[in-house]
Structure 1
Amino acid sequence: MQDHHDPSPFNALPPVVVILFLAMALPEAAFSLGEAGLIGGPGAVGWRLAAIERYGFSGDVFDWMMSNGRWLPEHLMRFVTYPFVHTSFTGTLFAVVFLLALGKLVGETLGQLAVVVLFVGGGVFGALVYALVLNDPAWLVGGFPSTYGLIGGYSFVMWHTLGARGEQQLRAFSLIAMLMGIQLLWGVLFGGNNAWFADLLGFVFGFVASTLMVPGGLARVLQKLRRQ
């Protein structure tokens, strides 16, 4: 008789995606359980805020470092730590969904190194330009700039695939267009902040970086632009 085992849902995911998932999910689990009073005692209610202040990205802190020429490691690390701290369970949930779906596709198509480059690079580039261009004192936290880097990678894969099939390549940008439209509508109806700018920058980084990681990718993009 042959034994039948239910495969783990993580078996189909590239290991790097599982690691990033845990890095997002475990802090959120601690924050949510603490806010519910299930762990940590009364002080656990403040864990999320304390984590945002310690690991979130601050444009004001970046401006201070630039003005004083002091690039302190405890503040530079914020470029890579802020994607793993969220303001709510819902925000974490959406970021994790994007990570799992797009990380799997990018990992299987471009490789696990590409997942790391697009995720980390999208977050760093998004925060850097966000700080340089905007004078926004609000904390930048959450994994969306990083996961939008993966959306950039996904869009490049779709752009290349549609081109190979002779189909309309603009369809490759339908996902980012839809997400930006939702964010715009949400901001109009309920108010918002400038975090969408960092998200868009993460996408731009992801798409451009993908063209450099695929042999001949940049040449194909330039050739397509010349034809237009």
Structure 2
Amino acid sequence: MAPRNVTFQTRTNSPAVLVLVAITCLPEILLTLLGTISPNASQWRMTAIAYGAFWNGLLQGWEPLYLFQREAMFASYAFLHGGLMHLLGNMVAVLALGGIVVARIGQKGFLLLYAISAFGGAAGFALLSGSETPMVGASGAVFGLIGAWKFWEWQARQHFGSPMRPLWSSLIGLVILNIVLWVLLSGLLAWEAHLGGFLAGVLFAAIVTPTLRYRV
């Protein structure tokens, strides 16, 4: 039998995906609006980053601004962004991948994967980066969704005997994309969070869906 092309089921307009995107958009929308009406616009954003960003220094003896900030920042950083374009890029990816994830593991599974990937992104940044620059953005969680998706693609290709070359090519493309963005952003890309989120997503998918649950 000839190898089968690999395609994925998807569910559009999943409430879990839409609500998560809306909640994630809210802080940046508020900060942007404040920037248009308040003379202290930069102060609002600096305060949000001080309280919600991921700070490596807090794991190295810095005094937290509030109780449990060291723990909270492993999640809160994913709800802050460096601007509307940063937010837009991440949320487009969540909307594009969310339907695939929900179709495979349901809405609760999607939310759990997203949360674990965000934590994995923060852990990757903490372990691999020595930067004292604050880290914000949902890209760690986004790369977790990508990691799960790519695991399922590998799983399906293995199951149906489809060639693996397209999978490896897409993974190489992700690496090249990160290198290009790192150069364009003068080294300010948190690739460590991308890697941590990706590995968390792959591990989650491997544990939760060790075999095919539907025909892809």
Q: TM-score, normalised by structure 1?
A: 0.79
Percent identity of paired positions between Structure 1 and Structure 2? 28
Cα deviations by residue, 1:28-64 (Å, 9 ceiling, x for unpaired): 1112222233xxx323443222111111110001222
Distance 1:35 1:179 in 2: 34
2:60 to 48, 59, 63: 63
* RMSD between superposed Cα atoms in Å: 2.3
Cα deviations by residue, 1:74-131 (Å, 9 ceiling, x for unpaired): 3311111101100111110000011111111101112222212221111112212321
Counterparts of residues 68-107 of structure 1 (less than 5 Å): 72-107=67-102
Q: Which runs of 5+ in 1 are unaligned?
A: 1-10, 218-228
Counterparts of residues 136-151 of structure 1 (less than 5 Å): 136-151=131-146
Q: 1:213 deviation in Å? A: 0.3
Amino acid of the residue matched to residue 166 of structure 1?
Answer: G
Greater shift in the superposed pair: 86-95 or 159-168: 159-168
Residue 108 to residue 216, structure 1, CA distance change in 2 (3 Å): closer
Counterparts of residues 1-228 of structure 1 (less than 5 Å): 12-37=12-37, 41-64=38-61, 72-193=67-188, 195-216=190-211
Other structure's SS at 1:203 match:
helix
Conserved? CA contact 1:14–1:108, under 8 Å? no
Amino acid of the residue matched to residue 59 of structure 1?
Answer: N
Q: TM-score, normalised by structure 2?
A: 0.83
Cα deviations by residue, 1:139-188 (Å, 9 ceiling, x for unpaired): 11100001110111111121122223311235335444323312212323
Bigger helix share: 1
Conserved? CA contact 1:156–1:172, under 8 Å? no
Q: Which runs of 5+ in 2 are unaligned?
A: 1-10
Distance 2:34 2:201 in 1: 35
Q: How many aligned residue pairs are there?
A: 200
Larger Rg: 1
